[in-house]
Structure formats: C-alpha cells, structure tokens
Structure 1
Amino acid sequence: MSTLAKAKGFKKSKTGTYLSIGTTAFGAISVVKQAKKARFEGDTLRLIDAAVSAAAIVTGLALLYRELRRLGDDDVLLG
C-alpha cells in the first residue's frame, strides 16, 4: 500500500477521527475567546459570529462522533 493511500485511509480511521475531534474541539477555544472579547466590547456582530462558529463546531463534533460510532470495531489501521 502506498504512503498516499495510507494517508487517505488514516482520515477514515478511528485514530484519524479522534484527531479530528481534538482539533475541532481545540478550535472551540478561539471561539470562546472571541465571544468573551465581543461581550466585553459590546460588539453584537462579533458575538453573532462567535455563536454561529460555536454552532458549526458542535455540528462538526456531532458528525465526527457519528463517524466514530459507524467505524465501530472494524478499524483496519489500528490492527
């Protein structure tokens, strides 16, 4: 199996999904900072942007969790 094929397969593996969940959750930190700054400055537009970004993160995490459940125990890259 070529290195490129392994890299493409990694994205669909449990490990790759966990990594995606971690990076998506890490993005939530910047959204929280953005929301705090917007509230402090009274910037409604930035606060709305932070809320929409937070909704996107929650949706992304839900999709990744569903993918993780779909993978189940049949992950070939871990074995």
Structure 2
Amino acid sequence: MSALSKAKGFKKSKAGTYLSIGTTAFGALSVYKQMKAARHDHDTLSLVDAVATAAGIVTGVALLVRELKRLGDDDVLLG
C-alpha cells in the first residue's frame, strides 16, 4: 500500500476523525481570542466575523461527531 493510499485511508479512520476534532477545537481557541479582542475594542464587524467562524467550527465538529457515530464508535461520551 502506498503512502498516499494510507493517508487517504487515515482521513476516514477513527483516529483521523479524532485528530480532525482536535485541530478544529484548537481553532476554537483562536476564535475565542478574536471575540475577546473584538469585545475589548468594541469592533462589531470583527465580532460578527468571529461569531460566523464559531458557527462554522460548531458545524464542523457536529459533522465529525456524526462521522464517528457512523464508524461505529462505542465511546460513552458520544452517546
């Protein structure tokens, strides 16, 4: 199996999905900092941008959790 085939398979694996959730959650930290700075500066446009980005992150995590359920994950935390 080539390295490229392994990499493509990892994306659809449980470990790859967990890694995606982790990197997405790490992005949430950046959005939090952006929101905090926007509120401090009273910058409404930046705050709206941060909220829209946060909505994308929440949607992305929800899709990844759904993918984990589809893969048959028996983790108690996922319900």
TM-score (norm 1): 0.90
Identity %: 74
Match of 1:27 in 2: 27
CA distance in structure 2 between the partners assigned to 1:57 and 1:19 by the alignment = 14
CA distance in structure 2 between the partners assigned to 1:18 and 1:30 by the alignment = 19
Q: For 1:16-71, what per-residue CA distance to the aligned partner results, in whole angstroms no more than 9, with x for missing partners? A: 00000000000000000000000000000000000000000000000000001101
Match of 2:41 in 1: 41
Give runs of aligned pairs for residues 59-70 of structure 1, distance below 5 A.
59-70=59-70
Residue identity in the other structure for 2:30: S
| Residue 15 (structure 1) aligned with residue 11 (structure 2) | no
CA distance in structure 2 between the partners assigned to 1:51 and 1:68 by the alignment = 26
Gaps of 5+ in 2: 74-79
Gaps of 5+ in 1: 74-79
Residue identity in the other structure for 1:28: A
Residue identity in the other structure for 1:42: H
**How many residues are treated as equivalent by the alignment?**
73
Taking only aligned residues, the RMSD between alpha carbons, in angstroms, comes to 0.7
CA distance in structure 2 between the partners assigned to 1:33 and 1:2 by the alignment = 40
Match of 1:3 in 2: 3
TM-score (norm 2): 0.90
